Amino acid sequence: MDYQYRDVFMHNIAREDYRRVVAEGREDFRHDDEQVNGEEEKKRVAVVVAEGREDFRHDEEQVNGEEEKKRVVVVGNNGFKAGPQKNESSAYRTLQQVDKGPSHSWWKDDPQCSRLDVRYGQDLTPTLLQSYPRSGNTWVRYLLEGATGIFTSSVYKDFTLIRAGYLGERSKIWYRNTIVTKIHFVKHLQKFADVPAIIIIRNPARVLVSLWSYVNIKNRQRKHVAVMNPESFNTSAFHAFVGPGLKKWLWTTRESLTNKKRRLLVLYFEDIRANPTQEVRKMLQFLKVWPDEKRLSCLERNLEGKVKSVHKTLDPFTQEEQKDIDRAVAEINRLLTDRGLQPLPDYHK
């Protein structure tokens, strides 16, 4: 089957799997590139990405055991190696874009900022951008792309986001050409256990409301921004969803904080909403990237992005559900305190 049509076909299957298993609080779903089996896919080999193209099909998740550790991928016309590198520099740096290949302008309608495009970078330090789903990951990717001019990537290959302008979506973390790589769940936290990470934590009550909307809205183009009718939360289906969803949030958030060997920056969604530019500066500092004041000024003028979710406050939880949420928050606060990190915001204000 032609790869292009295969991807679209498998993406439709993956979408339904994702909706079903997230609603059940499971993690055993497989995304687009993980759906395909058979001898043809097993024989697939790494390719050279010419001139920054993103139509390559090699996936490090197809390689097992020692082969994955030894693999080195040569990327593009610049000839730099995209595999894991030793002796990473601790010095701050100015990022360099790859001149050829795809580019995107988030601010094409802003005359003062339209020429500040986003492209692939080169020889970047692999860094995770981890959050539980519906915690602002995609919006933070927009903020970082605007602030740095470098694409972000993801392990999930969401075609909706590619169409929205996230052109680095399909790149792999070891290609070292994106500023961060989006992940959500424990399996990727464990797989990339030695990779530095920016962790975004959001009030689990708001996460559950947003996630319920996401898994139930049929229109793929509106999933990232739409909100369900409030009446849908007054159902037995929603209340059956809350318990497993909260346990999954707690498990994932706990796992993100317990690896004490990982270099870590923990940010809170509520703080990012309150002062996006300030939190972006923290991320740039963590990434050891010199701030580009012109880009930050343009970002300040264009904070929302294309797929930032609608912020709507709903309180559909029973008293017992709210107690469970409070207990989960208290447990995460204990972990944060143990690591000497700032506690979660007061979610009852």
| Residue 170 in domain | yes
Whether residue 17 is predicted with pLDDT greater than 70 in this model: the reply is no
Q: What is the mean pLDDT of residues 258-285?
A: 97
Domain range for 164 is: 88-338
Helices (H), the chain: 3-23, 39-42, 65-70, 137-148, 159-164, 186-191, 204-216, 236-258, 269-274, 276-287, 293-301, 319-338
Give the pLDDT band of residue 156 (cuts 50, 70, 90).
Answer: very high
Whether residue 310 is predicted with pLDDT greater than 70 in this model: the reply is no
| Residue 349 in domain | no
Cα–Cα distances (Å) from 158 to 18, 163, 251, 344, in that order, read: 12, 9, 24, 30
User: What residues form DSSP beta bridges with 267?
Assistant: 200
Q: What is the mean pLDDT of residues 275-283?
A: 98
| Residue 19 in domain | no
Whether residue 25 is predicted with pLDDT greater than 70 in this model: the reply is no
Whether residue 333 is predicted with pLDDT greater than 50 in this model: the reply is yes
What does the alpha-carbon distance between residue 248 and residue 24 come to, in Å, rounded to a whole number?
10
Q: What is the mean pLDDT of residues 219-242?
A: 76
pTM above 0.85, yes or no: no
| Residue 6 in domain | no
**Sequence-ordered list of residues with C-beta below 8 angstroms from that of 317, at least 6 positions apart, any chain:** 205, 242, 325
Give the pLDDT band of residue 230 (cuts 50, 70, 90).
Answer: confident
Q: What is the CATH number of the domain that holds 165?
A: 3.40.50
Q: Give me the amino acid identity at 19.
A: R
Q: What secondary structure letter does DSSP report for 123?
A: S
* 214 or 142: which leads in pLDDT: 142
| Residue 43 in domain | no
Contact criterion met (CB below 8 Å) for 188 and 255: no
Residue 229: predicted pLDDT = 73
| Residue 2 in domain | no
Contact criterion met (CB below 8 Å) for 196 and 127: yes
Query: Which residue is listed with tokens 């929205």?
Result: 164
* 55 or 283: which leads in pLDDT: 283
Residue 222: predicted pLDDT = 54
Q: For a pLDDT cut of 70, what percent of the chain falls above it?
A: 69
What does the alpha-carbon distance between residue 292 and residue 80 come to, in Å, rounded to a whole number?
24
Q: What is the mean pLDDT of residues 108-124?
A: 97
Total structural domains within the chain: 1
Residue 221: predicted pLDDT = 54
| Residue 17 in domain | no
| Residue 211 in domain | yes
What does the alpha-carbon distance between residue 8 and residue 252 come to, in Å, rounded to a whole number?
29
